[in-house]
Amino acid sequence: MILHVIKSNIYSGAENVVCKIINGLSDKEEFIYMAPHGPIEDKLKSIGLYDCYYGIDKLDVATIKAAVDKFHPTALHAHDFTASVLCGLAVKGKIPVISHLHCNPLWLKNPLHPNTISYLFASRWFSQIITVSEAVEKEYCYSSKLKCPVNVLGNPFSAQTVLDAAGDSDDEFVSDLLYVGRFNPAKNPLGAIKIFEALPNRDNLIFRMVGNGELLDECKEYAASHGLSISFEGFQDNVYKYMKNTKVLLMPSIFEGFGLVALESMTLGIPVVCSGVGGLPGIVNDTCGYICNETSEYVDAISSLLSDSSLYSSKSESAIIKSSTFDNLSSYLENILSLYKKLR
């Protein structure tokens, strides 16, 4: 049995990966999804995975030890940095720990940051590290000191799943510009709003922002105080309907481990205008969108896409073609299963 350990109690990128692993390998392995109580419970119920959920009040070393004593897992599959460190400290090599890194926060580059040091310390008890892009490994300042294998697996992705969930075009979800992601510093939602504010024809555009997070209220206040017409959609179970019915996806992330939202939008033929951080340059290029640094670059890119139908069609077609090269769900699951077998 594999015990997935997650600090977050919501549903986002890392949680999506865990659910795909459990769904795809449930006939070959037993799984427990361990995470704090919260909105994730409703999501797990809606997709039929609540039976494997083990809810806790707080993720810490004592709670992990108690779960190990209760379930006797063959391995701990820890997601992101905090869960990895806590799992390492909890079992100290008694059972295998897989550290699965889904993001590349800015502190990765800082050799004096407590998180970089604690991760290096705990890594002595890791059996395997999985990253979603080469950027995560390269940006970790102590990567050369890691003793266990590091494997870049990307993210599990099925284009057909996105297409099926998006359905047909629907005027209810139409927009010119779309932001999808957590409202937190990493995703830079306020930066997205300021880019929209700088667009010369913004009063004629529909801008929707999908997601929740600690910066939501600040973003709403900024939009209201600056007279910006933005539709804040909150958390949505099916973001693909919004992607299907927009023209441009805006993704000005400060850091991004992989960039799944970009890939999903491209599958639907939506060009992506994004920052060039983390795994994004491996997904988006000038054939299917734009990588930007300054606000003026974002404005020029968005304006060009919305005003030049020939340019838009070219990038839309290329986005679909490029996204198809990432269709890897079967091979991804095979790699994960192979890893589990090696750790027995």
* Predicted confidence (pLDDT) per residue in 11-70, tens digit: 888 999 999 999 999 999 999 999 999 999 999 999 999 999 999 999 999 999 999 999
Cα separations in angstroms, 15 against 165, 296, 324: 18, 34, 23
Q: Enter the CATH code of domain 159-324.
A: 3.40.50.2000
Q: Are 220 and 191 in contact (CB under 8 A)?
A: no
Assigned token pair, 23: 């769904």
Domain coordinates in residue numbering, the chain:
2-156+328-342, 159-324
Q: Which fold has domain 2-156+328-342?
A: Rossmann fold (3.40.50)
**Whole-prediction pTM value?**
0.89
pLDDT digit string, tens, across residues 95-120: 999 999 998 888 999 999 999 999 99
Assigned token pair, 293: 């640094």
Q: Are 17 and 155 in contact (CB under 8 A)?
A: yes
Q: Are 249 and 265 in contact (CB under 8 A)?
A: yes
Phi, then psi, of 331 in degrees rounded to 5: -70, -35
Question: How many CB atoms lie under 10 A from the CB of residue 187?
Answer: 24
Phi, then psi, of 179 in degrees rounded to 5: -115, 130
pLDDT, one tens digit for every residue, the chain (344 residues) = 999 999 999 888 899 999 999 999 999 999 999 999 999 999 999 999 999 999 999 999 999 999 999 999 999 999 999 999 999 999 999 999 999 999 888 899 999 999 999 999 999 999 999 999 998 989 999 999 999 999 999 999 999 999 999 999 999 999 999 999 999 999 999 999 999 999 999 999 999 999 999 999 999 999 999 999 999 999 898 999 999 999 999 999 999 989 999 999 999 999 999 999 989 999 999 999 999 999 999 999 999 999 999 999 999 999 999 999 999 999 999 999 999 999 98
Q: Do domains 2-156+328-342 and 159-324 have the same CATH topology?
A: yes
Nearest to 35 by CA among 56, 52, 19: 56
